[in-house]
Amino acid sequence: MSLLPVYDALERVLNSVDQLDNETISIHDALGRITAGDINSNLTQPPFAASAMDGYAVKFADIDQTLEVVGESQAGLSYAGTLKTGQAVRIFTGAPMVDGADTVVIQENVDRDGNNLIINDCKAIGSNIRDAGSDFMDGECLVEAHTKIDARHIALLAAGNVAEFSVFRQPKVAILSTGDELLEVGSEIGPDKIVNSNVPLFMALVKEHGGIPINLGTAQDTEEDVKAKIALVKDVDIFVSIGGVSVGDYDIIQNVLKEAGLKVDFWKVAMQPGKPIVYGNFNGIPYFGMPGNPSSAYVCFANFMLPAMYKMQGQDQSGFPSSHARLEHDVRAGGARLNYMRAFYHENERGEKYVNSTLTQSSANLKTLARSNCLIVRDVDAPPADAGDLVKIFIIEP
């Protein structure tokens, strides 16, 4: 049986998932969420003309004469009067401009003796004034639709007096691991047992990329236990199981899931690592069956599950960002499967990227994955590449 090409498999996945519904949330809960529509300001900022510097508000026509300081304007407490010819008002950064003044002279450019003020330098009328609306206007779009909200956006929206807005709902992801040999982290490790690192990996990946993980635990390699665990799959947007999909043990998982409603779209993709991935529909829920080796499962997540999660949240569906880097060593020719090599890239002082993949490429090796910040993408039947050649990379850690 020929293996399904990676890009054909991704197309099938994306064609089978939809954007999630919208929900309205508080700005205080918005970090990391994806906007479902443009968000407009509810006010003009600044709402009034304000001083951009500490100094003195004056009439530009008066700068060549000695002026009388008649008061001051502070942020939150403006000068109540109107400036007359021959007068100046002490003003501070952010304070409302004084009625009748048209210029602010910075304090470093004046000499003051009591209430007498001499201006030493002022080059232009209107200097050091922030006009009303110079940041943004009432009704102006502050954040566009499909934007991932970060701290900068939150500050901007708060300044625009936007207390709540619409975002895409976070996908709920049910995570099930399988294997008699697996124990929870923190357990006392007995003979023939290993710590389950896949569930913590996927819990973290789902959280990191905007989802809500739901841990179904670890099923033993029996039909009864798998049935009991998958009965918990309810009210979620994605169901992912990890382990039990390779040749020799897939039949157990396949039979149990099929009996419970799984319709398989594809099994096995022309990629390395990650060939045995399963994708289908489990009672209306997109289902990913991931290999048990952590690096294989990670690469499958990057290629298929992450783009699906992004589409659900209204984001760019390309998953991890791609770039190009120059090899620091030779790489052998590609084979019959698209190959993802865990690697580490760095940039020189000119911003040029260089990449090294000399770490072991065993799909069971977690240290290699943890020390990588990118994946080198080697196409099917790619020719050998020499040190200095450009190769495509997926950046998994900015």
Locus of tokens 């009034």:
48
Same domain, 242 and 213: yes
Same domain, 341 and 286: no
93: domain CATH number is 2.170.190.11
**Once rounded to an integer, what is the mean pLDDT over residues 338-345?**
95
**Once rounded to an integer, what is the mean pLDDT over residues 135-140?**
98
Last residue of a domain, one of 280, 312, 344: 312
Please report the pLDDT score of residue 204 as a whole number: 97
Which among 74, 318, 293 is positioned nearest to 198, based on CA atoms? 293
Tokens of 384: 């050998």
390 in a structural domain = yes
Residue 256 in this model has a pLDDT that exceeds 80: yes
**Once rounded to an integer, what is the mean pLDDT over residues 327-352?**
94
Residue 170 in this model has a pLDDT that exceeds 60: yes
Please report the pLDDT score of residue 398 as a whole number: 63
**Following DSSP, what letter does each residue of 242-270 receive, concatenated?**
ES--STTTHHHHHHHHHHTTEEEEEE-BS
Same domain, 361 and 269: no
The pairing of strands 338-347 and 271-272 is: parallel
Same domain, 181 and 292: yes
24-76 pLDDT tens trace: 999 999 999 999 999 999 999 999 999 999 999 999 999 999 999 999 999 98
Annotate 285-300 with b (16+ C-beta within 10 A) or e (fewer): bbbbbbbbbbbbbbbb
89/93 Cα distance (integer angstroms): 13
Same domain, 182 and 276: yes
286 sits in which H/E element: strand 285-290
**Once rounded to an integer, what is the mean pLDDT over residues 329-339?**
93
Within 10 angstroms of residue 167's Cβ, the number of other Cβ atoms is 26
pLDDT band at residue 186 under the 50/70/90 scheme: low
205 in a structural domain = yes
89 in a structural domain = yes
Please report the pLDDT score of residue 264 as a whole number: 95
pLDDT band at residue 358 under the 50/70/90 scheme: confident
141: domain CATH number is 3.90.105.10
Last residue of a domain, one of 81, 103, 130: 130
Tokens of 82: 């109107």
105-137 pLDDT tens trace: 999 999 999 999 999 999 899 999 999 999 999
Residue 353 in this model has a pLDDT that exceeds 80: yes
114 in a structural domain = yes
191-229 pLDDT tens trace: 777 778 899 999 999 999 999 999 998 888 888 988 999
Same domain, 28 and 11: no
Same domain, 154 and 268: no
State the chain's mean pLDDT as an integer: 93
pLDDT band at residue 22 under the 50/70/90 scheme: very high
**Once rounded to an integer, what is the mean pLDDT over residues 385-398?**
92
317 in a structural domain = no
pLDDT band at residue 397 under the 50/70/90 scheme: confident
Same domain, 14 and 33: no
> What domain range is 253 assigned to?
6-20+170-312
33 in a structural domain = yes
1 in a structural domain = no
Last residue of a domain, one of 267, 294, 312: 312
381: domain CATH number is 2.40.340.10
Residue 338 in this model has a pLDDT that exceeds 80: yes
Residue 254 in this model has a pLDDT that exceeds 90: no
Same domain, 174 and 164: no
pLDDT band at residue 323 under the 50/70/90 scheme: very high
202: domain CATH number is 3.40.980.10
Please report the pLDDT score of residue 330 as a whole number: 94
Q: Total structural domains in the chain? A: 4
Please report the pLDDT score of residue 159 as a whole number: 97
Please report the pLDDT score of residue 248 as a whole number: 58
Which amino acid, one-letter code, is at 41?
S
Same domain, 359 and 299: no
Residue 249 in this model has a pLDDT that exceeds 60: no
146/148 Cα distance (integer angstroms): 7
Same domain, 99 and 35: no
Which among 374, 310, 277, 368 is positioned nearest to 32, based on CA atoms? 310
pLDDT band at residue 21 under the 50/70/90 scheme: very high
**Once rounded to an integer, what is the mean pLDDT over residues 343-353?**
95
Same domain, 288 and 338: no
Percent above pLDDT 90 for the chain: 81
Per the CB < 8 A criterion, the answer to whether 247 and 254 are in contact is: no
285 in a structural domain = yes
The pTM (predicted TM-score) of the whole model is 0.86
